[in-house]
Amino acid sequence: MKNEGPMDGSHSVLLFSKSPLAGSNGTPFKQLLGFQRVQLESGSEEEVIFLVSFCIDLGTVKADGVQTLDIGTHTIIAGTAHHPIIIVSY
């Protein structure tokens, strides 16, 4: 994250995931994986790191209470950046 403005400030960085089944069968359109509040002086920058566990963070709990990891392209979203992660079955 970089503060290119003339004043010091803080910003919340939000990390979301979107399942390949987003919006169907009760699967949320996207879910919040984590957030961090970052305070930056004018002109400074800072790397923001999130740790993601694929099985826990990208999984969904079905109506029967079983957690599953859906096959297909999951998308990690931070601000305007979208990063695809493809889960395949062997």
Q: What are the pLDDT digits (tens) for 23-79?
A: 887 788 999 999 999 999 998 999 999 999 988 899 888 788 888 888 999 999 998
Residue 3 lies in a domain: no
Residue 76 lies in a domain: yes
31's tokens: 């879910």
CA-to-CA dists, residue 83 to 9, 23, 41, 44, 51, angstroms: 27, 19, 28, 25, 15
Q: Residues 29, 30, 31, 35: is their CA dihedral positive or negative?
A: negative
pTM of the model: 0.82
CA-to-CA dists, residue 4 to 1, 43, 51, 62, 83, angstroms: 10, 5, 26, 43, 24
What is the total count of domains within the chain? 1
Residue 2 lies in a domain: no
77: CATH: 2.60.40.10
Residue 1 lies in a domain: no
Residue 54 lies in a domain: yes
Residue 36 lies in a domain: yes
Q: Which structural domain range is residue 32 located in?
A: 9-87
Residue 45 lies in a domain: yes
pLDDT at 82 over 90: yes
